Structure formats: structure tokens, C-alpha cells
Structure 1
Amino acid sequence: MASECVFCDIVAGRLHAEILFEDERTVAFLDNTAVMEGHTLVIPRAHAGDIWEISEDDAAAVMRTVHRMAAVLDDVLTPDGLTLFQANRPAGWQDVFHLHVHLVPREDSDRLNRPWYVDRADPEALARTRRRILGEGSADALR
């Protein structure tokens, strides 16, 4: 557990949260800054600052809990949709530095907006980026 981590405090029971589910690796609770009813966060019990710090096993456990909570939110709240959001580092919009996944139930009429506009990428730029990612041994982790 990291000192001065609000999510570690929730895991340890030092800070109250409206917990919906917990198992040996994860905790799911209602976000106290919810943008929609049922806005839920899923975190690993073990402190991991972001996607680059979490173990593969804990990352898989987080996604299992996300999947489970998505089904519960769909059954109980019957939203029109669901947005998953996971941010890393300040430039990626992370503001609590303990990995977490947001599950935000959505309604057709809600006022939440996409954070970017969709536009076609240049195919040549995509090909260059692919070569860059897969070249020079950097893709060993994909094997």
C-alpha cells in the first residue's frame, strides 16, 4: 500500500466507500464524484500507480471485475450504454495515482461528451507508426 493514496485507504478500510464488490485482488465501489448514477470504480487491491506498474495478473483481475460490474449495472440500472475509462499519468488525465477503471452508465440524453473528435488518420502515418512500434525489438512483449 502506498502512503497517502486515497484508494489504498479504501482498500485498508481507513476511508469509507460505498463498496459494491470485492475479491482477493480487486475492489469495486461507487465514485464519490459520480457523473452519472451508478458511476463505479474498479481498482486493484495492490497499489499500482498506472497501467505500466500493474502486474498482468492484477490487470486481468481488474478486467474480470469490470466485466462483472458491467453486467450488474446493466441488469439493475438498464442504461442505454456504458463508457469505460482508464487514464494514466497527468497527460493522460489521471488524477488519482492508483490504477482505476471508471464504469459510467450512459443515457441517450445525457450531456457527457467525447473528449476528442473522430477523424480519419493518414494511412501512411499509421503504417510508419506500426513499423516504429514493431521494429528494433521493441515488440518482444507482444510475443
Structure 2
Amino acid sequence: MDETDTACVFCEIAAGRQDTGRVLFEDETTIAFLDHTAVTPGHTLVIPRAHAADIWEISAEGAAAVMRTVHSMAARIREVLRPDGLTLFQANRSAGWQDVFHLHVHLVPRRAGDHLTRPWVASVKGDDELAAVRALLATPLER
């Protein structure tokens, strides 16, 4: 899939061919727009203009550009909507709950007592279990 693949709805938005009335911000590398399936008022999506299916496909530079726009939009949401909090959500592949396969970050303005709930229940892990996973993951990162 290339950066303007017509099969990708987010590529269509980035190219200005669809849903342009929802766009809040755009620059050379990213675009922010209101989610048409918003779970709260102001629910915003930030995407890279160039198609990248998920976090494993986008370059480090592309991911940084997306996060810069996320940061700016978070500030704007805070300034204008004054939410009690903000949930950021980014999913990868079907098993990770991704449903549009163009990398995107959700910015969900939150109010105390709103209808949203956590999707999992955390539980404390033992030192042995954490040590085993650490042994697998704690290696020098390639950049």
C-alpha cells in the first residue's frame, strides 16, 4: 500500500479527498481530525500523511512527527475543552484492537465519572516473572 492508497480511508483523508470538514490541523507529515465515531466530544485522531500500517511499519522520524502533533493537539484540547483528563490510545494489528490499518493515535478527552472504563484489570506480577521478561527485552536497541 502506498501513501495515497485509495483502499485506505485515512490515506483518503490525508490526501484531502474525504471528510475534510473534520480536519483540525495539518502539516507536511501529519494530520489531526475529529473521529466520526467519537466516544466523547473532541475525540481526535492523529495520523501520518504517508501510509504506515502500524507502529512496526512507521519510521522513528514518522512516529516522532505523529507524537509532536499529538502533543500539540492535547494542549489545544486542554485549552479549549478543559477536560478533567485525556486518554491516549494507539492500537496495532487485529490482536491489538486496531480496526483501521493506518497508524493512528486517539486523543479522548475525559470527564470524571464518564461512561468509559478500562479494558483490563491490572494485577501485580512476581519478581521472577518480571525478571524472565526483562531478560528477553533488556537488550541494546537499534536506532
TM-score normalised per structure 2:
0.93
Match of 1:45 in 2: 49
The letter for the 2-side match of 1:13 is: G
Q: Does 1:6 align with 2:14?
A: no
Match of 1:100 in 2: 104
Whole-Å separation in 1 of the counterparts to 2:92 and 2:98: 5
Query: Structure 1 stretches of 5 or more lacking a match?
Result: none
**SS of equivalent residue, structure 2 residue 64:** helix
TM-score normalised per structure 1:
0.93
Whole-Å separation in 2 of the counterparts to 1:90 and 1:25: 25
Query: Structure 2 stretches of 5 or more lacking a match?
Result: none
The one of 112, 117, 133 aligned to 1:113:
117
Whole-Å separation in 1 of the counterparts to 2:141 and 2:7: 32
Whole-Å separation in 2 of the counterparts to 1:45 and 1:129: 35
Moved over 3 A (4+): none
Shift in Å, 1:132: 1.3
Shift in Å, 1:121: 1.3
Q: CA RMSD in A?
A: 1.1
Aligned residues between the structures = 139
Whole-Å separation in 1 of the counterparts to 2:9 and 2:80: 28
Match of 1:26 in 2: 30
Percent of aligned positions that are identical: 63
Whole-Å separation in 2 of the counterparts to 1:98 and 1:121: 33
